[in-house]
Amino acid sequence: MGVPFTFVHAADLHLDSPFKGLTKVPEAVRQRLRESTFEALRRLGNVVKQEGADFVVLAGDLYDAADRSLRAQLRLQRMLADWTAEGIGVFVVHGNHDPESGRQAKLDWPAGVHVFGSAGSAAECVPAYRRSGELAAHVYGISYPTAAVTDNLAMRYRKQEGAPFHLALLHANVDGDPAHDNYAPCRLAELAAAGFDYWALGHVHDRRVLHEYPHVVYPGNIQGRSVRETGEKGVYVVRVSEAGEVRLDFRGTSDVLWMEKGVSIEGAEREQQLKDRLLEAAEEARHSAGGRPVVIRLRLEGRGVLHDALLADSAAEQWLDELREWLGSPEERDDWVWPESLSVRTAGAANLRGLAAEEGFLGEFVRRGIRASEDPALGRELTDEALDVFRSQPKIREWLSSRSDEDRAELIRRAMELTASMLRDEDAG
Amino acid sequence: MFIRELHVDGYGALHSLSCSLHAPVTVVYGPNEAGKSTLLRFIRSMLYGIPTRKDLVERGEPVFGGRHGGRMLVSASGGRQWMLERYADGGGLRKTAGGLIVRDENGAELGWSQSEWERHGLGGVSERLFRQLFAVSLDELHELRTLQGEEIGNFLYHAGLAGGAALSEARKKLAGDMDKLYRPRGTTQEMNRILAAIKETEAVLRQSRSGVAMFLEAKEALARTEEKLLDLERTLPPLIEKVAELQGAVNLREWWLKRKLLLEEEEQLVRRLPNPQDQPLSDEAASAWAELQRNRGQARERYSSACLSVQQLRSELDALPWDEALLEHAAELEKLDAMREAVIARQEETESVTADLRLLEDTIQSLLSRLSPEWREDDLAAFASVTTERESLRRMQQAWGEAERRRERLEADAARLQRQREALTAEARNMPQAAQHMPDGTTIFRATSRETLQQAWNVLEDELRRFERAHTGGGAESTTGSADPRKGSSRAARQPARKPSLPLFAATALLALVAIVFAFSSNRMIFTAAAGVAAIFALFTGWAAFRMASFRRSPKLDSTNNMGEVLQERESRVRECLRDLLVNPDIPAASLLQDDVWKRLRRQVQDELSRLERREQELVRSQELQRRIAELDREKESLGAEIRAAIQRLDELQAEWSNWLGARKLPAALTPDSLPDLLNLAEQGQTAIRSRTRALERKSALDELQAGFRQSAAALFEVCPPPASMRTDPALSVTWLFRKVEEQRAVKAEAVRTERLLKQAEAAVIEARQVLDKAEGQVLQVIREAQAEDEQAYEQRLHIDERRRNLTRERREIELRLEAGRSAESAAALYLLLDSHDEAMLTTLLRQAEEARDASERERTELLDRRGRLAQELERLQREAEAEDRRLRLAELESKLEQLAERYAVLAIADRLLKDTKAVFEEERQPEVLRIASHYFAGMSGGAYSRIIAPADSNAILAETADRRLTDSAFLSRGTQEQLYLAMRFALAEAASGEIPLPLLLDDLFVHFDERRLRETVSVLGEIAQSRQVILFTCHRHVAEALQDGLPAAQIMEWAARGA
């Protein structure tokens, strides 16, 4: 049969990616985050060397933007040159974030790096060798010519006999994951049936193994970039035995961890209690990060008496500022915890559903709100109407249109909580 | 809520009014000014507080007294009862905390605030709403038309939500919060600011140059530059070499030419030699030749100089003659010459001694004449013992001086004594006058001396004391009682009944006082004394009279007769004493007991005593003076005797002196004071005589010495005569001759020495001749050896050979210079180059090569420069790329924007939902209110109108008749209008206070209703009264009656007019 070999499967490097959802960031945090994708790249390099990989496949989105930054190009070029100098082959496809059509000029790829083109009716096929020189596999791939590719690229992959192992490199959304842009849509069944031994995928940032034998694998990105990308991120080290057995080992590469934690206000009577709980959550996060810095989003949840106070204008922001102060400056320690935001998802002592059952204005109000939050069409209509004032602001319009139905429902729920709190306040006073 | 009882303590025209309400409908009927409207206001005030002074009508200050305020009992659902209590002085004003006291049915205070009361008791209906809907008069009824705005809308449709105020408040707050975040075309709002910042950052990002492209360009340019540099590195070295070669040729060309010239010259020299093949003679040959020549020259010179010196010495010897005769007497001359100096010195000494002698003679003569005209030299010599005389003379002089001084001192003493005596005499003259000042015979006292007076006075004092004791003892028995006479008198003065002769006493006292005053104002002592006595008399008289009387009157005195005897005895004793004391003792003893009299008398006595003392002192002094004058006189006499003795002594001394002078033939006029001078002169004279004797001896010795010298010299001059001019002075001649002998002796010595030298010189001449011959032989031998024709030819050959050697050396040097550092081939190439090109050609070639090289080097420098710049550029780009974080900041801004957008969205959605809900509420709820209102309106109008319509898009209220005609309420008749509004009120009141039905208070609203409509309205009221209390106020009997007819259960309260 074939020869045993090892390769590293990484995707979505998003080098030099700006980070989402950060405000009022102190310089130490900004610096660390800015370097974090590169640091993750460095760790990837270490993995490649330590694991003795024969070659590396990078499944798209190496850069964060079509306008690849010079810094990102220089750093990647240096890393790739490092690998190729040791005889490690590199195979690359471009994804939606770094399509071939990028306006920005590009540096040359170091010799020994193969970048698959986008042209042609069929995926290009190139041989991959072990470091010792034996043929290990055929590698196939197609790059994105432009950012938005809506064709099913998987259809263009054709297996070419002559190698013990067939590895397909593809940046695509398998089975239409709604959390990601639906580029190069394809079906898992199609992939599984295409005759390749390993589909090295990119695009989805959560690592997942969709299928085994043939393996269909998303390794996820190498460094979380926003609070939506929490937890450890990294790459897969894939070992293929002589008999064609495939073993996957995950290796973490994150330099900074993103986390989201819920903190309940239930039973908290005084602000000191809430403070204690917030600090506890933050310290827990610090502990779990193993010495790495953490960017954390704290979600206040539950039903409690502090709800009304938290709903007040900019109360959440004040709490956030306080929390940052309590945790100490990131300038002073390496394993800092930076609370990225504090989202208030609490509910008042009274149940909205309970209110909805009541007669009167508030009852009617809550009933309407709940109707809108449960019916996506109604919710969409309500939010669009309410935010019609932004029709001349493309930035906000874009943000609004990218809100999912759940997001909108959440906004409506918060609006209801706020209103109920205000009307009740008045009522009580 | 149901109002059960009203207790008005004082409110407007009402006071101390209590009434209880029990029926659902209560009618208060009464004429104008019965207090109906006041009661309405009272109820409002009870519920919402007493208005402040700003609204005096509503406030209802009590007109007829009573405490401003009152109580009200209300019942609520569930059978609860509350007693409300408000007083203006208890802080029960509207809009103030406190003042309201709410008690429950057990009388316990609930401690509610106004707002709590409104919530619990009034169902959240505000005062404003209450006034508009529940406590209605005609004025308010018509207001409905104007209550179409947002607020009344809220009131109308959203009752149940705290009167809708919370809704307005919430929407206002939402709008405010939203405005803070974002406004279209705003600039300062948070989101607007961030949007602007994002726009700016994006613009900057777009404009920033494409970093990667620049990086690539720079890299490419760098590679090209490197390549060109490599090319240049290859081509540059040969160019430099070529330039160096040509440069060398140009630089060395001069030397090359020189070498050529040297070669040619060498050839010419060789041709001039007789035997060109001969190798040049060595350097040593030339120097050896020179040495030979020099030796020969020196030998020649030495020989000729030796000959010359022989000749010279010979001529010198010839010129040296000497006198042999003179030399033979040399020893004698020497001796004389040695004496000569001494002889000259003796001669000078002789002259000075002679001069001294003359001088001494003169001195002696002058001294003699000064001492005494009669003296000769032997006299002076006889005055030999001057020193012994001197002592006796000194003693005499001293005695004289002492006598003189004694006399002077005595005379001075005499003068002093005289002065003292004069002073004392003058004092003594003044003395008797002072003593006479004291009057002697004017005193009132008998005693003339101090002691007697003092004694007399003391006796009087004792007696008087005894008398007084006896006197007072009559009253108080005690002999040791107080002796104070004042006490007695004051006691007497205090007993006016016992003063029958007071006028008498007063008259005498007055007299005494006048006398005393007069006495005090006077200065004169005598008069004072007299006046004092007079005064004392007067006082005594008065006092005695009074005293006698009092004695007579005193029963005590009368009863003690023996006491009176003692007294009288005592008195007579006193009187005796007085007699002893005074010249004129006419004073009653008893009067002495009186204080003033006694005091005066005592003072008089004391004055007299001191006067007497003074006089005694004066007397003592005068006697003392007399004694001292006598003493002085005695002293003066003894002094006179002493003076006389002194004068005598002086005369004796004068005689002694004159004797002494005579004995020594001295002028008698001499005083002893001039004696020291005289003695000195005598001494000097004796000294001069001694000196003269010594000088004469010395002179004779000297003359002898000189005579000896002259004889010896004369003997010598016979043999060797000195020049004639000197013959007179043997000393000078001796000197001259001696010098001559010395000269001759030197000449002879010189001649001997010269002869010896001459012999040596003749030997040297012979030796020099031999040396010269040898040198000439050597020269000839050298010439022969070199095969030269003669000396000159040999010298020429030597010359040419030296030149040849020099040329060869120079040529070698040049060749070394040309070929140094070159291989044989390159040296050959150089010679070839120089041979085949002239200077101009070489220069041109060099210039061309240099230009080529310079161009290449410039290019290289430029390329290096560019390489540096490019490398820097690359580094800069890389560095900038590393530092680039605008995208990061942009992301941050976007994040912030999203956060704010989210917040805004929540607010906007809340607002939108509120708005929507409100719209729905209005639409869905209005018909309900209107339905009820329509029902009431139909009832009131007796079915004439069936419906009230309020279109959502207009403010109008329309009435629909039974036959479905629509009329705007503005066009209805007044009565119908009011019925319509009233119906609306009823409906709204129901909507606004569904949970807690508040009572309706209607103030005479039916005045425009016709009889039928009134009846219908009453039945509508009956319907309403089923769910809430109705209180009506009217001044119209027909209204009251209609109500009574229509609602038999109604309670009618008929009030009379107040205050009229």
Interatomic CA distance for residues B61 and B16, integer angstroms: 14
Chain B residue with Cα closest to A398: B898
pLDDT at B811 over 70: yes
Is the CB of B170 less than 8 angstroms away from the CB of A107?
Answer: no
| Residue % of chain A over a pLDDT of 70 | 94
Residue B904 C-alpha, separation from nearest chain A C-alpha, in angstroms: 8
**Taking residues B516-536, what's their average pLDDT?**
53
Task: Provide the phi-psi class of B331: left if phi over 0, else alpha when psi is between -120 and 50, else beta.
Answer: alpha
pLDDT at B436 over 60: no
Nearest partner of B643 among B397, B423, B415, B400, judged by Cα: B415
Count chain A–chain B contacts defined by CB atoms under 8 A: 160
Which of the residue ranges A171-180, B238-247, B668-677 would you say has the lowest mean pLDDT? B668-677
Is the CB of B913 less than 8 angstroms away from the CB of A416?
Answer: yes
pLDDT tens, residue by residue, B671-727: 767 777 777 877 888 788 888 888 888 888 888 877 777 777 777 777 777 777 777
Is the CB of A423 less than 8 angstroms away from the CB of B182?
Answer: no
Is the CB of B913 less than 8 angstroms away from the CB of A415?
Answer: yes
Q: Where are the domains of chain A?
A: 5-252, 256-349, 353-429
Interatomic CA distance for residues B30 and B17, integer angstroms: 15
Interatomic CA distance for residues A38 and A45, integer angstroms: 10
**Taking residues A10-39, what's their average pLDDT?**
83
pLDDT at B188 over 50: yes
Which of the residue ranges A85-94, A201-210, A323-332, B943-952 would you say has the lowest mean pLDDT? B943-952
**A261 or B131: which leads in pLDDT:** A261
Dihedral angle over CA of A105, A223, A344, A306, nearest 10? -140
Cα-atom radius of gyration of chain A, to the nearest Å?
A: 25
Nearest partner of A11 among A248, A178, A257, A235, judged by Cα: A235
Which of the residue ranges A237-241, A298-302, B490-494 would you say has the lowest mean pLDDT? B490-494
pLDDT at B489: 44
Partners of A418 on chain B (C-beta within 8 Å) are 906-907, 910
Residue B876 C-alpha, separation from nearest chain A C-alpha, in angstroms: 12
Provide the residue type at A288 as one letter.
S
pLDDT tens, residue by residue, B1001-1054: 988 888 888 888 898 999 898 888 888 899 999 988 888 888 888 888 888 888
Angle at B334 between CA B328 and CA B335, to 5 degrees: 115
- A382 in contact with chain B, both atoms CB, cutoff 8 A: yes
pLDDT at B530: 54
Is the CB of A34 less than 8 angstroms away from the CB of B888?
Answer: yes
pLDDT at A56: 93
pLDDT at B933 over 80: yes
- Name the helix (H) or strand (E) containing A7: strand A5-10
**Taking residues A385-394, what's their average pLDDT?**
83
pLDDT at B458: 84
Interatomic CA distance for residues B546 and B1046, integer angstroms: 131
Question: Before B585, cis peptide (omega within 30)?
Answer: no
Partners of A419 on chain B (C-beta within 8 Å) are 170, 910, 913-914
Is the CB of B184 less than 8 angstroms away from the CB of A364?
Answer: no
Mean pLDDT of chain B: 78
Interatomic CA distance for residues B310 and A107, integer angstroms: 121
| Total Cβ atoms within 10 A of residue B432 | 10
pLDDT at B544: 58
Interatomic CA distance for residues A372 and A410, integer angstroms: 11
Residue B260 pLDDT level (bands cut at 50, 70, 90): confident
pLDDT tens, residue by residue, B119-164: 788 877 777 778 777 887 887 777 765 554 444 555 555 444 444 5
Bridge partner residues of B945 (DSSP): B961
CB-based contact A38:A75 (threshold 8 Å): yes
Is the CB of B881 less than 8 angstroms away from the CB of A414?
Answer: no
**Cα-to-chain-centroid distance, residue A426:** 43
Interatomic CA distance for residues B43 and B840, integer angstroms: 138
pLDDT at A250: 93
CATH for A5-252, options being 3.50.50.60, 3.60.21.10, 3.10.105.10, 3.40.50.300: 3.60.21.10
- Between strands A257-264 and B2-11, the pairing is unpaired
Residue B250 pLDDT level (bands cut at 50, 70, 90): confident
**Taking residues B435-445, what's their average pLDDT?**
56
Which of the residue ranges B182-191, B398-407, B482-491, B936-945 would you say has the lowest mean pLDDT? B482-491
Cα-atom radius of gyration of chain B, to the nearest Å?
A: 90
pLDDT tens, residue by residue, B969-979: 878 888 888 88
Where does residue A47 rank: exposed (0-12), middle (13-18), buried (19+ CB within 10 A)?
buried
- Name the helix (H) or strand (E) containing A235: strand A234-240
Query: CA end-to-end span of chain B, whole Å?
Result: 35
Chain A residue with Cα closest to B907: A415
Closest in B160, B170, B885 to A34, CB measured: B885
Partners of B203 on chain A (C-beta within 8 Å) are none
- A385 in contact with chain B, both atoms CB, cutoff 8 A: yes
CB-based contact A251:A245 (threshold 8 Å): no
Chain A residue with Cα closest to B878: A71
pLDDT at A195 over 80: yes
**Taking residues B30-50, what's their average pLDDT?**
86
- Name the helix (H) or strand (E) containing A114: strand A113-115
Mean pLDDT of chain A: 85
| Residue % of chain B over a pLDDT of 90 | 1
Partners of A368 on chain B (C-beta within 8 Å) are 913, 916-917, 920
pLDDT at B491 over 70: no
Is the CB of B888 less than 8 angstroms away from the CB of A68?
Answer: no
- ipTM, interface predicted TM-score of the complex: 0.72
Where does residue B451 rank: exposed (0-12), middle (13-18), buried (19+ CB within 10 A)?
exposed
In A130-229, the DSSP E strands lie at: 135-141, 166-171, 198-202, 208-211, 215-218
pLDDT at A125 over 60: yes
Chain B residue with Cα closest to A70: B212
- A386 in contact with chain B, both atoms CB, cutoff 8 A: yes
pLDDT at B169 over 80: no
CB-based contact A166:A137 (threshold 8 Å): yes
**Taking residues A284-303, what's their average pLDDT?**
87
pLDDT at A332: 82
**A397 or A425: which leads in pLDDT:** A397
A38-42, B277-281, B988-992: which has the highest mean pLDDT?
A38-42
Residue A104 C-alpha, separation from nearest chain B C-alpha, in angstroms: 7
Chain A residue with Cα closest to B994: A360
Where does residue A246 rank: exposed (0-12), middle (13-18), buried (19+ CB within 10 A)?
middle
pLDDT tens, residue by residue, B845-896: 889 989 999 998 999 999 999 999 989 988 888 887 776 777 777 888 888 8
Is the CB of B895 less than 8 angstroms away from the CB of A400?
Answer: no
Residue B836 C-alpha, separation from nearest chain A C-alpha, in angstroms: 60
Q: Where are the domains of chain B?
A: 213-279+802-878, 298-329+720-785, 438-593
pLDDT tens, residue by residue, A315-344: 888 888 888 888 888 888 888 888 888 888
